[in-house]
Amino acid sequence: MRQSSDACSSGAPDHQQSKRRRRVRAAGLGLGALAITLTASGCTANEIVFLDLPDPVTKEGLITQNLWHGAWIAAWAVGLVTWGLMIWAAIVYRRRHKDDVPEQTKYNIPLEILYTVVPLIMILGLFFFTARDQAEILAVKNDQDITVQVTAYRWNWAFSYLDQDAFSVGSPNKPAELVLPVGEKVRFELVSPDVIHSFWVPDFLFKMDVIPGKTNVFELTPDKVGVYPGRCAELCGVDHARMLFTVRVVEKAEFDQFIADQKAHGQSGVFDTGMTTDHGQMPDARTT
Ligand SMILES: [Cu+2]
């Protein structure tokens, strides 16, 4: 008898230990798989934590980037607390015996008030920071160095440099090119003669609709020399995908040369699509 009881008492801890080892091994495998997935994805730490935006190439882009990072920090904090509470509850209050039934309750007023108030505070916080930053980015101060009228039309873009009296325009074979002097504040005036388009340069972290009959205005200061893709971000019709353009941020001397080149090619004045009206194209005049 004594022998068999000894066998039992020494068997139980063994069983417990092997169960614990299995759990540790499973957790290790899980973490290893996660690490391999993240490393193999080729993402930077910034991209993993913040699903990061491109590095902004305008002064104003930093405001957007900070808002994005702040929102992610808040989201991770909420996520970690929520996951922590879920895992804690699952472990601490797990069913230990087959016949266990959890305590049955109908409601819990303090908890329900907490569920209502905490999300409300989070939404109000997100709203406050978004509204504050949006107002700052969209503030038109009229202290620009140059003014560019952006004409979006099916299916291309034209950029008129109003102070320099010159314009550049794309063709079906060559995407339009917007050239801007680095470090100078640009006032953009968006006009469309036909349908709604949307001016979007991902590296500016900025996008604004181009609406017929309405001139939308914003101001940005490109502060990094480089070439950046731009596109129409509003599905504007059958050839929407062809509405691409390139932004080239250059030194002032190169910008002056670009303007001189446009004029030499007869592109002086303000670009005219020949179909601009005060109210945009009428619906029955649309062909697609
Ligand atoms: Cu478009």
- How far does residue 204's CA lie from ligand 1's centre (Å)? 18
Cα(21)–Cα(246) distance, integer angstroms: 58
Give the pLDDT mean for 207-229. 96
- The yes-or-no verdict on residue 212 having pLDDT over 60 is yes
| Portion of the chain with pLDDT greater than 90, in percent | 65
Residue 192 · residue 151 · CB < 8 Å: yes
Could you tell me which residue, 279 or 267, shows the higher pLDDT? 267
Q: Ligand 1: distance of its center to the CA of 177 in Å? A: 16
The kind and range of the H/E element at 50 are helix 45-50
Q: Which of 33-37, 46-50, 108-112 has the lowest mean pLDDT?
A: 46-50
Whether 274 has a pLDDT exceeding 90, the answer reads no
Between the CA of 209 and the centroid of ligand 1 the distance, in Å, is 9
Centre of ligand 1 to C-alpha 150, Å, is 12
Per-residue tokens: 254 = 């190169």
Do the Cβ atoms of 245 and 230 come closer than 8 Å?
A: yes
Ligand 1 center to residue 206 CA distance, Å? 16
Distance in Å, CA 124 to ligand 1 centroid? 34
Q: How far is the CA of 196 from the centre of ligand 1 (A)?
A: 7
Q: How far is the CA of 1 from the centre of ligand 1 (A)?
A: 88
Q: Which amino acid is at 163?
A: D
Q: 48 pLDDT exceeds 80?
A: no
| Residues, Cβ < 5 Å to ion ligand 1 | 197, 232, 236, 243
Q: Which pLDDT score, from 0 to 100, does residue 286 have?
A: 46
Q: SS3 of 151, please?
A: strand
**192 CA distance to ligand 1 middle (Å):** 9
Q: Which is more confidently placed, 44 or 242?
A: 242
The arithmetic mean of pLDDT across residues 83-94, rounded, is 93
Q: What would the mean pLDDT of 47-58 be, rounded to a whole number?
A: 80
Which whole number is the average pLDDT over 247-266?
96
Pairing state between β 176-181 and 244-250 = parallel
Using the mean position of ligand 1's atoms as its centre, give its distance from the Cα of residue 175 in Å. 13
Cβ distance 275 to 153 under 8 Å? yes
Tell me the CA–centroid distance for residue 154 and ligand 1, in Å.
6
pLDDT for the residue numbered 17:
79
pLDDT of 249 > 70? The answer is yes
pLDDT above 80 (res 52) = no
- pTM of this structure: 0.77
Q: Ligand 1 centre from 238 Cα, in Å?
A: 10
Contact 208, 190 (CB under 8 A): yes
pLDDT category, 277, cuts 50, 70, 90?
Answer: low
Average pLDDT of the residues of the chain: 87
User: Phi, psi (5° rounding) for residue 17?
Assistant: -65, -45
Q: Rounded to whole angstroms, how far apart are CA atoms 63 and 128?
A: 14
pLDDT of residue 40: 75
Residue 50: per-residue pLDDT: 67
Measured distance CA(256)–CA(252) in Å, rounded:
6
Rounded CA separation 160/180 (Å): 12
Between the CA of 127 and the centroid of ligand 1 the distance, in Å, is 30
Q: What does the pLDDT read at residue 103? A: 81
What pLDDT is stored for residue 89 in this prediction?
Answer: 93
According to the model, what pLDDT value does residue 19 have? 76
pLDDT value for 219: 96
Give yes or no for a contact between 64 and 206, defined as CB atoms under 8 angstroms apart. Answer: yes
What value does the mean pLDDT take over residues 70-99?
92
Helices (H) and strands (E) in the chain, counts: 5, 10
CA of 132 to the centre of ligand 1 (A): 29
Q: Is the model more confident about 89 or about 105? A: 89
Q: How confident is the model at residue 6 (pLDDT cuts 50, 70, 90)?
A: very low
Angle between helices 109-138 and 61-92 (to 10 degrees): 170
Q: Which of 220, 177, 178, 189 is nearest to 57 (CA)?
A: 220
CA 195 to ligand 1 centroid distance, Å: 8
- Conformation bin of residue 253: beta by default, left when phi > 0, alpha when psi is -120 to 50: alpha
Q: Residues 262, 248: contact at Cβ < 8 Å?
A: no
Instruction: Return the percentage of the chain with pLDDT > 70, whole number.
Output: 89
CB 182 within 8 A of CB 158: no
Residue 1 has a pLDDT of: 40
Q: How far apart are CA 244 and CA 175, in angstroms?
A: 6
Q: How far is the CA of 80 from the centre of ligand 1 (A)?
A: 41
